Amino acid sequence: MKIRLAITILFSALCAFGRSDVESIDLSLQSLESNESILDTAVLDTTLDHYRGTIASLYKRYQATQNDLKPIEAKFSEAGIPLFFTMIPYSESKFNPHAKGYNTAGLWQFSKQSAKNFGLSVKKGNDGRLDINRSTDAVIRYIRSLKKEFGTWYLADFAYAMGEGNLKELIEKNKSKKISVLLKDPHFPSGTKAHFAKTLLMDAKIHYSKTDEEVNKDE
């Protein structure tokens, strides 16, 4: 039964993403310190497939903003943070530094309190969340603090999207930190699922995907 289930999940993943895409997603997961692959859990496969159709427009936005992204990637590399996190502006604000949401603003969609906690001014006429350089420096401090608190990069991303308190409650409730377990919880926020799926798919496509020529060469 277990073998049959594994084969079913494998076939589903390959059909949804293609061989090179599955590999690139796994590499992205590994960069986040997950010991699970997309083939380990049907819920992750299903979640990614649900948001796969949104990636084309986000990728076009990436192509139009590559020059603006490069200094951000350099800062994250220097800080020792996976480049996965540089994809957050696409999933959160479509790389619009002036984007505003409910109590959030800027490239990284910082809330007012989180912005203040990590050194940004949030005042009329001086909102640091709308400044690419200052907000990026602040978000690096924020993500590093989340990594220190939760222990892995993927949990740091979950906390970034849903809040530290919500993630602690989910971990305590499920007695697990595994992606496959947490995603199954009915109280796992849908917004965090969207955030994680889009960011993961973008990271896999941009930082880990292979060209057809590279795939054929490996084979």
Q: Which CATH number covers residue 163?
A: 1.10.530.10
Residue 5 has pLDDT above 90, yes or no: no
What pLDDT was estimated at residue 214? 46
Residue 41 has pLDDT above 90, yes or no: no
Would you say residue 215 lies in a domain? Answer: no
* pLDDT tens column, 103-128: 899 999 999 999 999 999 998 888 99
Average pLDDT over residues 180-190: 96
How far apart (Å, rounded) are the C-alpha atoms in residues 88 and 85? 5
Would you say residue 167 lies in a domain? Answer: yes
Would you say residue 92 lies in a domain? Answer: yes
Structural domain including 144 reads: 2-210
Would you say residue 216 lies in a domain? Answer: no
Q: Where are the alpha helices (DSSP H) in 94-151?
A: 112-117, 132-150
Average pLDDT over residues 146-157: 98
Average pLDDT over residues 159-171: 97
Q: How far is CA 1 from CA 14, 27, 41, 107, 152, in A?
A: 20, 28, 15, 46, 32
Question: What one-character-per-residue DSSP string does 138-198 give?
Answer: HHHHHHHHHHHHHSSHHHHHHHHHH-HHHHHHHHHHHT---HHHHTTSTTS-HHHHHHHHH
How far apart (Å, rounded) are the C-alpha atoms in residues 125 and 103? 16
Number of structural domains the chain divides into: 1
Q: Is 104 left (phi over 0), alpha (psi -120 to 50) or beta?
A: beta
Residue 65 has pLDDT above 80, yes or no: yes
What pTM, to 2 d.p., does this model score? 0.87
- Cβ partners under 8 Å of residue 32, min gap 6: 82, 84, 152, 153, 154, 157
**pLDDT band (50, 70, 90) for residue 77:** very high
How far apart (Å, rounded) are the C-alpha atoms in residues 41 and 45? 7
Average pLDDT over residues 159-178: 97
**pLDDT band (50, 70, 90) for residue 2:** very low
Average pLDDT over residues 50-79: 97
Average pLDDT across the chain, whole number: 89
pLDDT more than 90, % of the chain: 78
